Amino acid sequence: MRRSHTVRTTRSSLPTGPQTTDDLGTLQEVRAPASHNIELLEASLRSEIFEKERENDRLVDQVLSLQTQLAQRPPLAAIQELENEKKTLEIILLGTQRENEKMMTELERQKKRERTLETELRRLCGDNWQTDLSRDDADVDGDGDIDSGPEEHPQRRQPRRPTEREIALEHANELLKKQIEQVRLLVLGMDERLVGREDRLAKAIQRAEQENKDLEAKLRELDLNAPID
């Protein structure tokens, strides 16, 4: 009696056929969504990796392009030389402007002295002081002539004593001549200095323009070789 009871109990504890089939179906239904999610995740990761690889390739190309541009760029020494040349031109230009201002000031001073002298001559000799100066010069030249009259023994004219007015005119005439000579020498010196400065400045400007053209040509080549995004 005991043995038969044990066998019946063991058999009754095993699941039946339909129940086992239902459990397997439930397990497959649970695994199916999980497998689908894994496939979606893998596809997303593949797409992200592909985009990263494209971005990496683009960055590599950009780095290579920048390296090429850097290799074609003028050397730092040439750029510094252009900057030094520019500073030199600015210094030369500034010096020329100061020299011109100094010369203009000196010219104004000389003109002022001339006006003062003319005013003094006008006060001493009247408004026709220039005509009087010319006539007095002619009289002085004629005083030394020999009298060629009909006398048998020609004699020199007795020199007359100059008047105070004539002395003032002669003195003013000498001052005016000295003043004119000083102005002439000043103008000649200014012309020589200006010509020398203009020559140096023209050569420096020509050299700087040529170097600037070369640099612009290099920059245009770099712009043409630059990649288009």
pLDDT for position 41: 86
Per-residue pLDDT tens digits for 34-70: 677 788 888 889 899 999 999 999 999 988 888 888 7
Residue 147 lies in a domain: no
pLDDT for position 26: 59
Residue range 82-104: average pLDDT? 83
Per-residue pLDDT tens digits for 180-227: 777 777 777 777 777 777 777 777 777 777 877 777 777 777 666 555
Q: 46-50, 77-81, 122-126, 132-136: which has the minimum mean pLDDT?
A: 132-136
Range of the domain at 209: 73-140+163-225
pLDDT for position 22: 56
Q: How many domains does the chain have?
A: 2
Farthest-apart Cα atoms in the chain, separation: 207
**109 and 133 inside one domain:** yes
pLDDT for position 50: 92
Domain end among 31, 48, 72: 72
pLDDT for position 8: 46
Q: How far apart are CA 136 and CA 140, in angstroms?
A: 6
pLDDT for position 138: 56
For the record, the structure tokens of 4 come out as 């038969």
Q: How far apart are CA 26 and CA 16, in angstroms?
A: 16
Residue 168 lies in a domain: yes
Contact partners, residue 148, CB within 8 Å, separation at least 6: 154
pLDDT for position 136: 57
Contact between 217 and 95 under an 8 Å Cβ cutoff? The reply is: no
Residue 53 lies in a domain: yes
For the record, the structure tokens of 155 come out as 């004699």
Q: How far apart are CA 39 and CA 185, in angstroms?
A: 101
pLDDT for position 27: 53
**57 and 87 inside one domain:** no
Q: How confident is the model at residue 83 (pLDDT cuts 50, 70, 90)?
A: confident
Per-residue pLDDT tens digits for 131-174: 766 665 555 555 544 444 444 444 455 566 667 666 777 777 77
**96 and 49 inside one domain:** no
**52 and 68 inside one domain:** yes
Residue 3 lies in a domain: no
- What angle is formed at CA 149 by the lines to CA 145 and CA 152, rounded to 5 degrees? 110
**93 and 42 inside one domain:** no
Report the range out of 49-53, 74-78, 90-94 with the highest average pLDDT. Answer: 49-53
**58 and 169 inside one domain:** no
Q: How confident is the model at residue 114 (pLDDT cuts 50, 70, 90)?
A: confident
pLDDT for position 49: 92
Residue range 77-100: average pLDDT? 82
Residue 155 lies in a domain: no
Q: 77-86, 91-100, 199-208: which has the minimum mean pLDDT?
A: 199-208
**59 and 135 inside one domain:** no
Domain end among 31, 51, 72: 72
